Amino acid sequence: MGVFKKVFGSLAPIAFTAFFSISLAENAFALSKQATDFLLSISVDPASEKVKLAEQDGTIKTEYSGDPEEYSLESLAIAKKVNGVKCFIETRAFIRNLKADFSGTKKVGPGHPLYSCSYLLYLTVEERKLAVKKF
């Protein structure tokens, strides 16, 4: 019985650390209360699938007009960028669809949620090249 306690007792800290790490990873992409409140104020459901996926994409590092740029749903919401938030969410959904089904993805034109957005802004350089191939 003493050996049993020593073996399993020594695993307790490891198990706790693993559990704690998993809990942190699950919440790593959680929007702040301030960002969530802003989304709600502009009638964007923070629990929607598109928002969750955009949130999971984290920070998009790109280049625009030769300058490095970084965008995230969190940073756009904190800055209260209404159009930026909506376009970021739609852009991230668009690129996911494009990567999953290139030929079946609808082109951006009148009636498309991205039509009024500078959607290329919220794509990485590699993603932008892929999107340009579509058009």
Please report, to the nearest 10 degrees, the dihedral formed by the alpha carbons of residues 88, 94, 98, 104 taken in order.
-170
DSSP state, residue 105: S
53-56: long-range pairs with CB below 8 Å, 24+: 53/92, 53/93, 53/96, 54/88, 54/89, 54/92, 54/93, 55/29, 55/30, 55/31, 56/29
Kindly report which listed range (22-36, 41-55, 65-79) carries the lowest average pLDDT score.
22-36
Phi, psi of 19 (to 5 degrees): -60, -45
Q: Indicate whether 22 and 53 sit together in one domain.
A: no
Whether 56 and 44 map to the same domain: the answer is yes
How would residue 115 be classed by pLDDT, with cut points 50, 70 and 90? confident
What three-state secondary structure class fits 124?
coil
Same structural domain for residues 61 and 12? no
Number of structural domains (the chain) is 2
Domain that holds residue 125: 31-134
Q: Are residues 26 and 47 in the same domain?
A: no
Average pLDDT over residues 5-23: 45
pLDDT of 102 strictly over 60? yes
Q: Are residues 19 and 35 in the same domain?
A: no
SS3 state at 104: coil
Does the pLDDT value for residue 48 go beyond 90?
yes
- 24 and 71 share one domain: no
The per-residue pLDDT of the chain, averaged, comes to: 82
On whether both 15 and 69 belong to a single domain, the answer is no
